[in-house]
């Protein structure tokens, strides 16, 4: 295989940069990123200082001008990656979605693909894409990529299989040019983890969830594995902007997250209300709203079945996986109470559970930071995909980019 220094890519619908961060670990360098939300793009810029950041509406960006700015010939770019909204896209779009703006946004992604003619294409989306319009949307995407010169395939990846300590699923589409099969571009699971599939996992007559092929794989990274070295905080405590670590790193995961970091940023405890503090006092690690006395429950949950909403008002099991990190760590929507501290997860803890390195700093208000973290692709998942993609493109993986 051929060696490489840095593979060239661009990132569209880039968010705060989770996808680019992981792909960077695999050896890709993002030359250009487009993200319309100002705070997201500011975070991206702060953490990818050698990338040109474009905050313009992608519908108004001339792809040819971008290519010339980057001094890239057609066919020279290694990868176009991104998370374009896909749910409105269909070759035979029904009337209800013909004018859907999301439809046009995916077409903007294709417009850049046509202009750059990259060696590979990577698209990430939610698992629900598989069942949307009975699979017609996903089929349209794959068919369209084929018409644009790419052999493509799709898989649903489970984040804990790749070292991410939370229950998160992503649909990944990969396309390769020049008749290359995309099958080898999808990473094999490297860890075991309990799974519960609550979405459509079959497409085109086959199961597209990537499952471990070996039984002797190491177990998943737990919440405690991920967080136990971070500073202790009380409810509502902010403290210094830069905080010292609680302990020396206790495992390989913590060592990897702390690489290049001089301390802990974005680690401030939001102040929970008095009623939520009362509720939390009754919840053991691994428990949830069913441990709360009825008189303390929110009015709408007093009549709920005890088998429903099992993550709400949850205190995470330190030896288990975290709930999917959403755009806010609101205990009403998930298990976001810390396992042995009486408070909710901080932005840094949410970022750790998403596998952002501690050297990655988030800008904006605390609310904006939570949103950026929750909407991101976990960097370790992106890195796993990136390493497989590097091999599929015929390059050797640099030693420094190998998995934990």
Strand partners, 172: 124, 155
- Rounded to whole angstroms, how far apart are CA atoms 352 and 373? 10
Chain-centre distance for alpha carbon 25 = 14
Q: Is 61 within 8 Å of 69 (Cβ atoms)?
A: no
- Closest-CA residue to 186 (of 122, 118, 117): 122
Residues, the chain: 404
What separation in angstroms does the CA of 79 have from each of 31, 84, 126, 177, 329? 11, 15, 21, 11, 33
| Block residue for tokens 């949410």 | 350
What is the sign, positive or negative, of the torsion defined by CA atoms of 286, 288, 294, 298?
Answer: positive
Q: Beta partners for 264?
A: 243
Question: Residues near 171 by Cβ (< 8 Å), separated by ≥ 6?
Answer: 124, 125, 126, 127, 129, 130, 138, 154, 155, 156
Contact (CB, 8 A) for 309 and 334: no
Cα distance between residue 127 and residue 200, in whole Å? 8
| 8 Å CB contact between 322 and 223 | yes
Q: Which of 56, 64, 86, 117 is the catalytic position?
A: 86
Residue with tokens 């995470």: 316
Within 10 angstroms of residue 305's Cβ, the number of other Cβ atoms is 7
Each residue of 318-327: b (16+ CB within 10 Å) or e?
Answer: bebbbbbbbb
Is 86 marked active-site?
A: yes
Active-site positions?
Answer: 86
């Amino acid at each position: 295989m051929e060696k490489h220094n840095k593979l060239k890519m661009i990132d569209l619908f880039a968010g705060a940069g989770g996808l680019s961060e992981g792909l960077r670990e695999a050896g890709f360098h993002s030359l250009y990123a487009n993200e319309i939300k100002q705070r997201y793009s500011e975070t991206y810029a702060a953490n990818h200082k050698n990338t040109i950041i474009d905050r313009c509406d992608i519908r108004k960006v001339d792809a040819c001008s971008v290519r010339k700015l980057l001094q890239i010939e057609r066919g020279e770019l290694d990868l176009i990656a991104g998370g374009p909204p896909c749910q409105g896209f269909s070759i035979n779009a029904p009337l209800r979605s013909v004018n859907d703006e999301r439809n046009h946004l995916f077409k903007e992604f294709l417009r850049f693909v046509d202009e750059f003619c990259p060696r590979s294409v990577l698209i990430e989306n939610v698992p629900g894409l598989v069942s949307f319009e009975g699979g017609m949307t996903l089929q349209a995407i794959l068919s369209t990529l084929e018409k644009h010169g790419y052999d493509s395939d799709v898989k649903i990846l489970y984040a804990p299989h790749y070292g991410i300590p939370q229950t998160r699923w992503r649909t990944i589409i990969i396309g390769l040019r020049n008749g290359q099969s995309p099958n080898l571009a999808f990473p094999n699971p490297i860890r075991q983890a309990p799974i519960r599939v609550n979405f459509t996992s079959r497409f085109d007559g086959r199961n597209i969830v990537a499952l471990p092929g070996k039984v002797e794989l190491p177990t998943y990274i737990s919440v405690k594995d991920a967080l136990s070295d971070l500073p202790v905080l009380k409810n509502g405590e902010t403290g210094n902007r830069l905080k010292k670590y609680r302990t020396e790193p206790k495992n390989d995961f913590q060592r990897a997250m702390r690489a290049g970091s001089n301390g802990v940023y974005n680690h401030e405890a939001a102040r929970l209300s008095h009623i939520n503090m009362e509720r939390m006092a009754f919840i053991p690690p691994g428990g949830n709203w069913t441990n709360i006395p009825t008189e303390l429950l929110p009015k709408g949950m007093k009549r709920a079945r005890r088998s429903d909403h099992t993550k709400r008002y949850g205190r995470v099991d330190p030896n288990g996986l975290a709930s999917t990190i959403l755009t806010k760590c609101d205990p009403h929507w998930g298990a976001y109470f810390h396992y042995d501290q009486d408070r909710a997860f901080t932005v840094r803890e949410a970022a750790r559970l998403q596998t952002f390195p501690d050297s990655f700093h988030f800008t904006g208000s605390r609310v904006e930071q939570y949103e950026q973290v929750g909407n991101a692709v976990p960097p370790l998942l992106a890195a796993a995909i990136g390493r497989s993609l590097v091999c599929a493109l015929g390059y050797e993986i640099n030693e420094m980019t190998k998995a934990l």
